[in-house]
């Protein structure tokens, strides 16, 4: 997003990108916290393990592309 912004709006593009990253991080923490409470229910103990493994795979794929 920041690279596609015109040079006179580069700071605005960078600020928007940082805002989106922070919002995504906050939502991710909220979702994982909610799913963490599911682990106390019978039969849902593996939910966080599966989510963690998916996150590791997605992060490694994203780093391999760049």
Number of other residues whose CB lies within 10 A of the CB of residue 13: 16
* Mean pLDDT computed over 10-21: 87
Longest pairwise C-alpha distance within the chain: 56
Q: Residues near 12 by Cβ (< 8 Å), separated by ≥ 6?
A: 5
- Look at residue 1 and tell me whether its pLDDT is greater than 60: no
User: What is the model's pLDDT at position 23?
Assistant: 92
- Look at residue 21 and tell me whether its pLDDT is greater than 60: yes
* Mean pLDDT computed over 16-23: 89
Higher per-residue pLDDT: 28 or 44: 28
- Look at residue 63 and tell me whether its pLDDT is greater than 60: yes
User: What is the model's pLDDT at position 66?
Assistant: 64
């Amino acid at each position: 997003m920041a690279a596609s912004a015109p040079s006179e709006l580069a700071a605005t593009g960078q600020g928007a990108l940082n805002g989106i990253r922070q919002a995504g991080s906050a939502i991710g923490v909220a979702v994982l916290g909610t799913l963490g409470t599911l682990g106390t229910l019978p039969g849902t103990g593996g939910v966080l393990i599966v989510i963690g493994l998916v996150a590791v795979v997605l992060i490694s794929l994203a780093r391999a592309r760049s």
